[in-house]
Amino acid sequence: MRYPSGRHFLQIPGPTNVPDRVLRAIDRPTIDHRGPEFGRLGREVLSEIRHIFKTRNPVIIYPASGTGAWEAALVNTLSPGDRVLMFETGHFATLWHRMATRLGLQAEFVPGDWRHGVDPALMEAKLAEDKARSIKAVCVVHNETSTGVTSRIGEIRKAIDRTGHPALFMVDTISSLASIDYRMDEWGVDVTVAGSQKGLMLPPGLSFNAVSEKALAASRHARLPKSFWGWAEMLEANKTGYFPYTPATNLLYGLREAIAMLLEEGLENVFARHNRHAEATRRAVRAWGLELLCLNPAEYSSSLTAVLVPEGHNADELRRVILEAFDMSLGSGLGKLQGKVFRIGHLGSFNDLMLAGTLSGVEMGLELAGVPHRKGGVQAALDYLAQEAASQARPAARSAA
């Protein structure tokens, strides 16, 4: 491998690049997590993070990975033997289902092909069949990190409402929060699960449960065992900005800075930026003559793009070539997609020139690895990005005149 001068290109769909502002915020002396300075930090972060979820409800922050937030969502709201409806949209939906089963829940797993999101009509049909209203919760992954497929949460909420079913609605936003439009309150989500290491632009180490009043009411009767994950103690301590156990103090400094950056840019602008980079990436993939894993354009992810390699070629070998030749990491295929796809992350702290470098590395890697493709993918993406930049410049020029 060549000496890796310059910066490593981390183009997996999380953990993502951590911007310098966030790194500098984290790089502060650790303070007393029982002292007054920490109380001010806690109150500020716990209040401001609600804007990112688009909720007025409490957001609970754990020193944990997203897997911990999955468990917290389940154990705080459900009891042993409760029925839960889950959907096989990819590797992470599969892992969440496995966890629910291990916790002693009756978790029905609706089969999927890993190339589509949750079908709102199927959700409606499944809930309509439940005449006894025995299903206590439905769990959906908003953006499947393993597939680059996004489920339509607003439409799913409407499908649930048409049945009048009282099940709790839980949504995993680990790779969509702060990258893809998400509206917890408007879409009637009861528990939102999230993590720090993707759209929030932080290192791994924080996870989140945003909880509705309905979910809090359910938690008062839930009988699954919990201690570390318990909402009640967390919410009581959070009233004054503190935590019932040692929090990830320096990551909270980083979270405060990340929230500030997102709100300065404006969430709608953040979503538009992600949409633009995703479309540019898809244009490159099509120009290469390769196939997108996601089949429904309405479900294209703006966080990442999963690309199928041609039959007879191995995506992990392509990734190895790109890493060794160009010092760039791409996401691997997970579960039954191992060796069949590579994933290009384009979320978090990311801009047009970083995308251009990423796609250049992929195009050169395809050539080096001997993967059949057409040239011109990078140019197709650049043409689109230049066109978008020009269209944005025209209104600014008119207003200045």
User: Phi and psi of 337, rounded to 5°?
Assistant: -95, 5
Give me 118's structure tokens.
């949750």
How many residues are present in the chain? 401
Measured CA to CA, the distance from residue 104 to residue 169 in angstroms comes to: 19
Give me 153's structure tokens.
């949460």
Task: Give the DSSP per-residue string, 297-309.
Answer: GGGB-SSEEEEEP
Measured CA to CA, the distance from residue 12 to residue 197 in angstroms comes to: 11
Give the N- to C-terminal CA distance of the chain in Å, as an integer.
53
Measured CA to CA, the distance from residue 213 to residue 58 in angstroms comes to: 9
Is 343 annotated to bind ligand? yes
Measured CA to CA, the distance from residue 290 to residue 305 in angstroms comes to: 12
Instruction: Output the CA–CA distances (angstroms, integers) from residue 284 to 81, 233, 331, 343, 351, in the order listed.
Output: 48, 49, 17, 13, 16
Give me 48's structure tokens.
């401001």
Instruction: Output the CA–CA distances (angstroms, integers) from residue 385 to 235, 277, 291, 389, in the order listed.
Output: 45, 8, 21, 6
Measured CA to CA, the distance from residue 188 to residue 191 in angstroms comes to: 9
Q: Residues within the annotated binding site for substrate?
A: 343
Residues contributing to the annotated binding site = 343
